[in-house]
Structures are given as C-alpha cells and as structure tokens.
Amino acid sequence: MATNALGQKRFNDFIPYTSPGTKRDPKVKNSMEFVNCVIFLKENDPDVSTHREFQDTDWHFYSLGNMGDSKKTDVTRAYDPDDMKEFCIEISDNTLPNSAFQTGVTNPDGTPKYPITKAEWKAGNTAYDNLYNNWDGSFEFRYDCCGDSKDGSAISTDEEKEKIRTNNRQIWRDFYEFIVTSSDEDFVAHLGDWVIKETTLYFYLVTLRYSMIDNRAKNVFPHWAKHYMSTSEAAEAGDKAQYYTIDDNAAAIHNGYRFDFWAYDMDTQLGINNSGELVFPYGKEDTDYKEDGKPSSGYVFNAAESTLWCRIRDLMQPQLRNMYQSVDANCWSDTHLINEYKAWQNQFPEELWRLHYDRLYFRTYRAGTVRFLQEMMNGRGIYHLAQWERDQHAYMGTKFVHTDVKSDQIMFRCNTPKQAVVKPDYTLKIIPYSDMYISVLYGNSANPTQVRAKAGQEYEITTTLTNMDDTAVLIYCASRIQALNDLSACYIHDNDFSKASKLKTLIIGSDKEGYQNSFLTNLNMGNNTLLEELDVQNCPNLTGSINLSACENLLKLNASGTIISSVSFATHGKITHAYLPSTINTLAFRDLQNLTDLVVPSYENLETFICRNSNIDSLSIIKKAINSLRTVTVTGINWNLENTDILKVLAKLSGKDENEFNTEHSILTGTIHVPVIRNKELLEYVGDKSQKGIWTGLEITYDSLITQFKITCVNADETHTVLDIQYVDIGADGEDPLTRAVNPIKTPTIPSTVENDFTFKHWDAAFTKVFADRTITAVYEPSVRSYTVQYILKANKNAAETVLQSSTSPYGSTIEYDGDIPKYTAEESAFKYYLFKEWDKSGLVTGDKKIYTVFDSCTYTDGYFDGKDLENLSEVELYTLMKMNLEQSKTTSGDILNFKLGVDYDYDDVESKEFISDTTEFDGTNYIDTNTTIMDKDRDFTFAIDFEFNDGNTSGATLAQCFQSNGSNGFRLWYSSNVNLNWGTKSTNPAGIADRELVVIRHKAGSEQAYVYCSNLTGNEVSTTTLAAIRIPVIPSTLVFGCSKADDGEYEKYAKGKIHWAKLWYADLGEDQCKEIAAWVHETIPMMVAKYKEYYLSDNATKRANITFIGKNLLSTNHSYGNVSGGWSKSPLNTWLNTRLPKAIPPLWKSLIKKVNVIANNADKAKTTSTSECYFYIPSVYELDPSVSGDPYSIETDSTIPFMTSDIARRRTKISTPETYEAYPTRSANVDQNVGTWQYGVDGGEDNPGRINGYFYPQTAGVLIMFSISCEG
C-alpha cells in the first residue's frame, strides 16, 4: 500500500536538481504527493436491495489507503503558471506507435535500429507518420497554455490556444527527431540542449534501481519549461530571475526551455508487476527477459526498447555511475527505505491492519474469490521488501560501484617474489553469494574489472599486471562473496577479510614443498560466520594473534609454518582440525567438542592455556608446557596423577574466569586422584570447612596424607607482602627460596623511601627443623639517598632559567648557595631594576629540587621619586635611585633610612611560625602561652629567640620554655645566678644579665642532641654548643614565654626581661643558616646620609660609592676598639665589624653595601696612613670635627660630615636607652700625644656629651657604624 506513495516521495526527496517551480515555492514537486488515510463508506439509497455490500445506510470501515494528488492539478506543478509556452505531455501507454521513441526502422535481425539517418526519418516511415499525423494516438497534453488556464477556467480563445499547441507539438517532434537521428557523439554532447540532464539521468537510475518496470513510457511525463535566463532577461525579470539559472549560452538554446521528467504512478516497483503480484526477483535490468535467455518471454521492463532510455544506458554509463555515486546515499539505501516503509505503515494501529486484512483477503475468500488470499496475502509485505531491498541494494551498488559497496570490501596486497616455487598468479575465481556485479580493482586502475554474476556460479577475473609490489587488490561487496580460489600464488601481505561474512573457504598458504609466503605478517579476520576452512600454512612471518571467535562454522585451521602467538576459536565452535606452530603462547578452547585433530610441534612457548569443557587432552598439554605456563584455566577434568608436582606449579599460576578477568590463582574444576598428598597441599588446593581452597570446584582424592607445616617468607613492607610459601614435612628443613634449585624467587626488594634505598641482607630466622608454622621476614640495610639541588636564576615567570649552582648531597643534609649574590640586569635598558631578595625554597635536601631566586623590582617612570622620602624607599628603589643618578637631587645630607640588622628565612617548602616580631616586655607578672607543641612528636625543628634578661630576676625565673619537668625533657631559657639554656638536663650559658643575645636551637629527628648557636655579639664568631639529652624528647608541652608552665598546667616562675623576636621552623635549617640567623640580634639602626661620592670601591678603584651613611644611633652592643697600635687597619673593632655585620644583613642590603677603601693613620710618629677594605667602619675625627685638620687626619677623609660638627650633633644613644649618651671612638689615633696610647673619640655621659676627646682610651664603648652603598659591581 505504501509502494506508490513512497516511490513518488523518494523520487522527489532526492532529485539532484531544484526546478524553478520549487525555487518559487518549495511545495511544488516533481511527483505525486500522498497521505495515509482510513476509508469509510455508507450506502445512501434507502432501498437496501440496491446495495452491493452493506445492507444498511450506516458508515462502515472500508479499507486502509492513501490519497494522492491528480495528474490534472497543473497549477500545483507548473513552474511558471503565467507562462503560455510551458506544457506537459503524458505518454498514454507503453505499446502506442510513438510511446518508446520508435525509429520505424529495424535491423536485419528484427530489432529496432537506432540511430537512423535523417534520410530515413521522413514521410513513409511509420513512426514518423504517426508522430506527425496521429498525435493523439500516443500523446496527450496533460496541461499546456499555463498562462491561459487557472484550474480549468480558460481566458484565451481556442484559436490562440491551438496555435500554441501546434508549436508545442513541433517542439516535441523536434526533440523526438533528435533522439532517433542524432549520432552517438551528438546525442551525448547535445542531450542537454533538450533536457535537464540531471533529472533525465536521475529518472533512468531511479526506475532501474527500484525496478519500476512500468515507468519508461507510460507514466512518464515530459515537461517543457523555461530553466535558463540570459543576463539581459534576468535584468528585465527583476525578482523573478532568482528562480532561474542565469546562463547566456544555455538561454540562447530554445530560449532557455528544456524538458525534465516528472514521476507518476510508481506502483509497479520492488518486484511487483502490473497486477500487483510479487513476481520479479531483485537484480533485473532493462535488458533482461522475464525468463532468463528467452526473448520470447518478453522484457521485464515495459517499453524496454525505448530509444531514449536505451541510448542513455548504452552511451552514458560514466555519467550514470557518477550520478549514482554522487546523489545523497539515502536515495539508494536499503536501510533508509525499509525504515521509511516501517514508519509509514506504523501510522496505522495494529487493529486497523487486522480489519484491513479481513476485508481485503478473508472477506473476498469467504465470498468465493480465492486469488487474493492464495496469491497475494504473503504476510507483511515489509519482510519481503526488506530482503528484496537488501539484495537489490548490493546488486545495484556493485553495478555502479557505490560508496556503500566500496567500503564493504575484501582487501589484500599482492607481491611478486624474486624466486618462488609456486609461480605467482593473480587470477581470481570468485563465487558470489547473490546476484551482483563482481567488481575487482587492481592497484591504481581507474575503474574496477566487472562481471555481471549469478549467485552460486564461479567467475574468473584476470589482470594484465604481472609484477606486483605490495599492490592492493580490492573486491567490492565483500559480504556477498561466497568463495575465493586458492590465493597462495598471490603472495598476500596486508589484508582485510573481516567483512567477508559469507566466505566459506580462505586459502592463503600452501603445502607445496618449498612454498613460502614471507610477505604475510598479519591476518585480519572478523565476522566470517560461514567460514569453514582457513589455511595460512608456510607463511613464516605471520605473527600476532588470529581472532576466529566469530567463525562458529570453522572446521579446519592450518597455521603450521607461521609464528603466530595465539588463536581464538568460537565458543561452541565446530572446529575439528587445528594445526598450529610451536610459537603459540596462548591457547583458548571453549566448549569445543569436535576438535579431535590438534597438532602443535612444541608447547615450549605456551604461557596461557584456557580449556573449558572441551574435548582436549589438557593434561598432556600442561605437562609439555609446564615450564612456560603463566595462566591456566581447565574445567571438567578427570586426571590421575603420580604425584602433586604439577599441582604445585599450577597453584602458583594465575587464571581467567568466565568473563575473561584475571584471577589470582589458576582455575581447575573436576576430579583428580593422587596416591600421596600432604595435608597443607590438600588444604591449600581444595580447602576444608574452615578455609577456602584455591580450586573451589576441584575434588582431590588420595590414598595417603602427610602432615606439613607452612613457612611463609614475607617482605619487610607495611603489608608484609608474602614473598614465598613452602610446606615442609614435619621435622624437616625448609629451603631458602633465594637459593633453592627449583623455582627460586628473586631477591626481595622494598620501595625506596624519600630518605633511603634498601638492600636485602638476610632473613630474620632460619629454615631448619620445622615443627610448626613459621613466618620469616626479609631484613634490609638502608643507605641514604642522594639528590640534586639546583639554585636557579629566574627573575620573573617569563624569564629564562639559568642554573647558578647544582650540587648533590644526601637526604636530610642542607646545600647552601655559596656563589655570588644573584643579579639580573637584562631589563635595565627598559628602566626596570631588580635586587635579589631571597630564595623561594630552603636548601634542605628532601628530593631533587629546584630553588628559584626571588627578586624585588622597581620600574622607573618620569617623576617616580617625586614626593618620596628616603626613609620610605625600599632597597630596590634605593638601587633604582642610584642607577638613575638621582641620589643627590632626591636626597639631602642628614636624610634618614632605617637599616635592619638580623637574618630571617621564609621558604615555600618549610612551615614556620613567628611568635614575637616586636620587642615584648615581661615584667615578672605577664606571659604568653603560644599553645604550640613543638615536640609532640619526634621531628626536625629550628627555634630562634632574640632576648635579654633584666636585673632583679629570682632563681628559676624562666623567659622561654617548651619543657616537661617530669623527666627533664625539652628546652628552657631561665635564670639561676646566670642565664641558662637547658636541653634536657644539659645546659649552656648563652648570655649575661642585661646582655642582649640571639640563640638558635637546632634539633634533628631521631637524635637526643640539640645544637645551640649563640650570637656572642662581643666575639668575632657565633658560639656553638652541642647538648645531649638522655632521651629523644617527645613531650606534650607547649611553648611559653615569660614564665614556666608546670606539667599540671600551672604558670609560675615569672621572669623579667625582653624578647625582641622569636620564630620556629619545622625543619632542620642546617648549621650554616642557623649561624647566619644567630649572627646578630634583630635591631633597626636609623642611618643618616653623610656623604656622596666619597669612598672609593675596593673592587674598582676608579668608582666611588654613591652614598655613605652614618648611624643616628649606636649599635645595641658595645665593643672595645682594642690596641691603638697599628691603627684602624689592625684594630679588633675593624675585624669584629667586618666579620660579624656582613653576615647579619639580609640579601637586599648585601647587594647594596659595598666594600670601600677606608683610610686611617697607623698610630705612629711618622703619621703614616694605611687603607682598609671595609663593609662597615667608624668615622674619622676629621669627619666629625673640621678643626682637627692637619696631617694625617685630613688624609683620612676628604671632607667633614656637615651636620656632625657640633657637640650636640655628635651625641649618640642606643635605641634601647634613648636617654643615655654614650661615648664612642673614631678610627683616628691621636698621633700628636703619646703615640700608640690615645685615640680620638666622642664623649658620652652627662658632663660633655658629644665633645671630641683626643685622649680617648680604647676601652669598651659604643659603636657608631658607617657604610657605603653603590649601584656598581
């Protein structure tokens, strides 16, 4: 019922041309249009005796059906309803004088002759005479004079219309004449002058593809309309021109008019004849007879000898093939058509179908007409359609070499060996499974070799190629190939037989003596469900796996002489013969009951053996492969063993379950009998009520049972991984699994930790005289791992990396950077300046590490320093100021900046806590409990504290502690006649009363010791002490400042003093960094601009420092000048300052403060001077008092510091005692009085503070520091 409707729809849906009518209105179609309907009838005559069927006047279900538009609805099809020249002709029937473009001339054999000459086309020719004199005998105008008629309402006179029709008839006659008289060349070249070639070829292909046997004369509607416009016509037509193709050349022929072909009444298709019977099989063409080979039976296609379609078929095969290949693939798709039919028919519910069948078949049968039921009710037509369509799809696809069949291919590459016992032969003998065009493409041929073939018959395909070098051979429509000849002489290499689902035999190798196909390296099989024999023997390079799991009908496989590693047979397969090579490493048999002939020369490479319910001697195979097997699954066994040796091996192997997942142990099911077995073996293998065995589906019977004990060797890892299990007869000795002769284990290993590698040393117990189960553990010797630490210069995220230092050291050690301070000047030309601030990570070796520079930066812009005070400038801004040479214009003498002494570290990879950052006073009543437990577990830590005890403390007063009294664990800083630092029960004296010092405590996990670093500010070096506790301190105590905290939580023993800074790092920072932290207390000295361009740089005598500073306050610590003799260059104060302070400043200041040449007299009568290279120094007398200007004092400096020339200006205090003026020395010895005894200095006290004193004795006094900074170097 859907045949005609969907045939018309398909024709219109995929036509490869858009007509002017469709462009104008998409509803205009080139075929009929249908909709499904349900038909109800009723008789209107009250006299029921006149009724033919229903004996009442009610509505009754009549039928399912569909309704389509009429061929008379001209306006719905007209391309231009206003065009009087447009017309449509209907060819009235198939047998009329001119319905098939008859030429009126026949060949000697009686067949129609075409083409004929112009001379033959004339009056007296019956076809000619009928065309000119009997128009209505073959044709009728379905509609014409479009502009005259609006659905039957004429607006022109009959005379006008007849004139137009006369012209229309002549157009058709001229076209007819072209069809029958044009030469072959002219026909192909000029067919497009008369028709729209796309629609004409498409009409031919659609009627052929869908076997529309009654649509080549009858039901053909040639339609004449305008399709092309010239450029000038288009300009006049305006908007209407958009519906036409603008082509001056095409428009010049017939004024742009052409015929195209409309579809109508396509009910005779898909094997259906004119009576609606399913009589024609697939694969019928317009050259075929109803009975093959019998012309007397008549052609399948009505009007099969139509000159138009015969000439298109004979002369335009390339064009037809191209169109078949280029039209939307769904047009020819069997799946698409079947789905469309299903959707169309599913519009009716099932009950309506039942009613329909009853009326159509059973009602008529009951009424005595049996034909419909017997001959036409063949079940649901969709099932016949589906099979017919699938076969037709393949048939026509192979005829026109469609993409669908090209992708459905057998592929193999042929070769020509230089020497071969079997002579190369590339002839193919192919048996198709269904009617089709056998299509074989050799190499780079333009087109395949094709043979029209019948199902089940063998056809020979030959090639002229004699030398093949990996030349591809493609056999299209692989799924319809039933058999191929022996391909061994083709010497196949690459291949793909996976789509040849109907193939029964595939022979690629040969058993002929001396034959070898060394080209074949892989075999690509797939869903070859009908394959019965596969032969790839003597292909010595065929390797890998052959997957035959879908080949359920395979009976014989011969892969001898190959090097394949595995083969997969179909579960429940029929395989009876399998010949495999000794290279096989995987065998899988699943429910194979017929495999009686299995030949494998050797099983020495077999690693995986799966045998499930198969008729295979599995025990024999396992015995032969026992040394190579790794995975075993065997079910349904019935073995008699001499001993348990095989079971011992199998117990250590893995298996595969029914879902192909790996199992820990091999799988055995069935029964085994063994004469003697040990109890542990039996328990391990099959278990008992309390313990599950490894083979739960196995039953083991025995005659005698021996008692055994288990030795379990385990690793020293966290989970005590089992390394080996052995069962030893009672009282016997076990074997060291490392040295035993049979199946020794590898030397145990455990993963390295980040700290250590581990080497196996021995077992922790012996293997002798076993009377009980025994566990023996591996013992390892650790060795510390070494790592590489790189210090890398990288100024910003976009900058390149430069490795400044790369060092290797053991884990837990510290690698300090020992190079010059990192510098980055690459962007200074863009006025962006950088100063090194710190490293982003510590040098603690915890693995391979990259440590990157961290810079402060400043980008100078015009007016950057306007309104900025020196005291607010950062170090990098100070550097920028000097690089821009603006220091003298943007600062003035006496300007102040804060100079911070003391070192601190912050790293991304080290957790730290700063508890006190500013001076905190403890008056004997207050305290701070940080609630931080430092030693709640054994771990690395570093703790620093900057402190001073005041006078007036009682014994036991505690300034800081993390200490547990019970057991004396931890540390505490306390007073007992002296300042003490305890670590456990051991102590040291880090400071005196009222002395400010900084102490660093360093502890390493696993050690009882603490390393103590004391600033020792009056000395030249940090003092170090090692204190050893009696145990590793692990205590819950918290860190408390200002008092002690008893174990019961009470706060007591309050102290008087100050803590200026306290910080904790949860890491061992290493000795060097601890010493740097302890190098100086954390204090800030205000410094004043003293001079510009005064002191020369020590490392570049031609350059002077940009700015020299002098302290506004004294250092917090006093120091003795020392022996005057020898002057400043030999002074202990000089040594002390330049030993201690350079280590006490952070990297930013280290980049700025430069060593300069400092001149001072030598304290001798000759008044000589010497030069010292100093980072830090003290002023000369002439810098403070211009009146002391004679030699050698004026040599010591070029100028006086302008704001230091008065007693008031020279007065100095410490930051901590701002009310107390203190004396301090200059670097100038008084060489005018008692040479070597007196030094120039500045008095303190209350009487004459700030006065220059030439009789200053070099005792301990305040220290007024100076230093110079520069942007050079």
364, exposed or middle or buried, with CB in 10 Å at 0-12, 13-18, 19+? middle
Residue 622: CB atoms within 10 Å: 24
Contact (Cβ atoms closer than 8 angstroms) between residue 973 and residue 961? yes
Contact indicator for 943, 1064 with CB cutoff of 8 Å: yes
Give the relative orientation of helices 317-326 and 307-315 as an angle to the nearest 10 degrees: 80
Whether the CB-CB separation of 462 and 429 falls below 8 Å is answered with no
Q: What is the reported pLDDT for 377?
A: 67
Q: Which letter does DSSP use for residue 146 in this model?
A: G
Helix (H, G, I), strand (E, B) or coil at 403: helix
pLDDT digits (tens, 9 = 90+) for 994-1004: 999 999 999 99
User: 714: which residues sit within 8 A by CB, 6+ positions away?
Assistant: 720, 721, 722, 723, 775, 776, 777, 778
Contact 700, 672 (CB under 8 A): yes
| pLDDT tens by residue, 1198-1251 | 999 999 999 999 999 999 999 999 999 999 999 988 777 799 999 999 999 999
Torsion-angle region of 283 (φ positive above 0: left; ψ -120 to 50: alpha; else: beta): left
Residue whose C-alpha is closest to residue 209's, from 388, 58, 363: 388
Task: Read off φ and ψ for residue 133, nearest 5 degrees.
Answer: -115, -15
Q: How far, in Å, CA of 1230 to CA of 1241, rounded?
A: 10
DSSP letters for 412-442: EEEE--SS-SSPP---EEEEESSSEEEEEEE
Quote the CA–CA distance of 81 and 149 in Å, as a whole number: 8
Contact (CB, 8 A) for 126 and 174 = no
Beta strand segments in 631-685, E? 631-640, 655-656, 662-663, 667-678
Taking alpha carbons only, the member of 341, 320, 397 closest to residue 16 is 320
> pTM of the entire structure?
0.58
pLDDT confidence of residue 150: 46
CATH 2.60.40 residue ranges of the chain are 710-784
Q: Which of 192, 331, 210 is nearest to 250 (CA)?
A: 192
State the Cα–Cα distance between residues 737 and 745, nearest whole angstrom: 6
Can the peptide bond before residue 115 be classed as cis, meaning omega within 30 degrees of 0?
yes
* CATH number, domain 912-1077: 2.60.120.200
Could you tell me where the beta strands, DSSP code E, fall in 694-755? Answer: 698-706, 708-714, 722-729
Q: Which residues of the chain have pLDDT under 70?
A: 1, 72-75, 146-155, 376-381
Task: CATH 2.60.120.200 in the chain: give the residue spans.
Answer: 912-1077
Tokens of 66: 């569909």
Confidence (pLDDT) at 370 = 84
CATH number of 710-784: 2.60.40
Find the angle CA(243)-CA(249)-CA(255) to the nearest 5 degrees: 65
